[in-house]
């Protein structure tokens, strides 16, 4: 792959597994150095860093931390710069996702879902802004089509992702012209590891126009577009959802 991101440094939250790992691999293949943030997935993060460093030595590092702890966020930026030299791209990918039907919502649900999906991206973006401004950088948020169209029984998650979409547009205004800020809104790509039957998954897929599940690699390709091929694009939300959002 063309080294379109040579000399670029990327910090990816929740970068050890699933969509985050696919983005890490794709941007690394384009020449970027990658800081892989993880919370509990330490072994996955270390394995991914080893894989990337085997391809290009000293091009990946791991950073642990709970994004709900605001003190961690500045340390992630500082550690990225200390280890990899600077910071060009922040990918706010980490997310919690589960149902919260009305009648069973707790304060802990609110703090967790709003914290990982909205509060952490805001404060991490704020911490990263000076570095990104100095480098003419990019913030890329991983949102969700259900931030634009609510998902039944996800009464906290959907508003949190809606907030992330508005945060994307707000930060695009606040950080321009030095920093671009965009978001990807995936459709059915990675289902939660529990809570959905195969019949439920198929019903979700059937609502897409393309009648198939997406892949993490398709989200990663969109991330590469924003990182390497879209210098005149900011404040935009790209639905990568097989046409689900158009299927009214």
Chain segment 130-183, per-residue pLDDT in tens: 999 999 999 999 999 999 989 889 999 999 999 999 999 999 999 999 999 999
Catalytic center residues: 157
Distance CA 93, CA 76 (A): 14
Cα–Cα distance measured from residue 142 to residue 137, given in angstroms and rounded to the nearest whole number: 17
* Residues in the chain, total: 248
β partners of residue 11: 35, 90
Strand partners, 37: 63
Using pLDDT thresholds of 50, 70 and 90, give the confidence band for residue 195. low
96 neighbors 117 (Cβ within 8 angstroms): yes
Separation CA 24–CA 51 (nearest Å): 11
- Note the pLDDT tens digit of each residue in 93-114: 999 999 999 999 999 999 999 9
Checking if the pLDDT of 248 tops 80, the result is no
Cα-Cα-Cα-Cα dihedral of 72, 78, 81, 83, to 10°? -70
Cβ 20 vs Cβ 8: under 8 Å: no
Q: What is the average pLDDT score of the chain?
A: 95
pLDDT of residue 109: 97
Q: Who contacts 215 (Cβ-Cβ below 8 Å, separation ≥6)?
A: 22, 189
Tell whether domain 9-246 is in CATH 3.40.50.720: yes
Q: How far is CA 104 from CA 107, 115, 155, 194, in A?
A: 10, 18, 10, 19
C-alpha torsion angle, residues 247, 189, 195, 118 (rounded to 10): -90
pLDDT surpasses 70 at 26: yes
């Amino acid at each position: 792959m063309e080294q379109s991101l040579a000399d670029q440094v990327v910090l990816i939250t929740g970068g050890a597994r699933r969509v985050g790992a696919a983005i890490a691999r794709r941007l690394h293949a384009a020449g970027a150095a990658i800081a892989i943030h993880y919370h509990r997935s330490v072994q996955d993060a270390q394995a991914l860093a080893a894989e990337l460093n085997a391809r290009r030595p000293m091009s990946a590092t791991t950073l642990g931390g709970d994004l709900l702890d605001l003190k961690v966020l500045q340390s992630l930026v500082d550690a990225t710069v200390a280890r990899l030299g600077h910071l060009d791209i922040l990918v706010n990918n980490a997310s919690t996702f589960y149902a919260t039907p009305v009648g069973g919502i707790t304060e802990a649900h609110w703090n967790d879902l709003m914290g990982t999906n909205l509060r952490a991206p805001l404060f991490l973006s704020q911490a990263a802004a000076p570095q990104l401004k100095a480098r003419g950088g990019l913030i890329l948020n991983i949102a969700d089509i259900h931030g634009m169209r609510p998902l039944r029984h996800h009464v906290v998650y959907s508003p949190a992702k809606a907030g992330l979409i508005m945060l994307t547009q707000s930060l695009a205004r606040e950080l321009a012209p030095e920093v671009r800020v965009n978001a990807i809104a995936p459709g059915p790509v990675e289902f939660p590891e529990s809570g959905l039957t195969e019949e439920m998954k198929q019903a979700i897929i059937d609502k897409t126009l393309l009648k198939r599940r997406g892949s993490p690699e398709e989200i990663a390709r969109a991330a590469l577009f924003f990182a390497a091929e879209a210098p005149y694009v900011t404040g935009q939300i790209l639905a990568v959802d097989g046409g689900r959002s158009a299927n009214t």
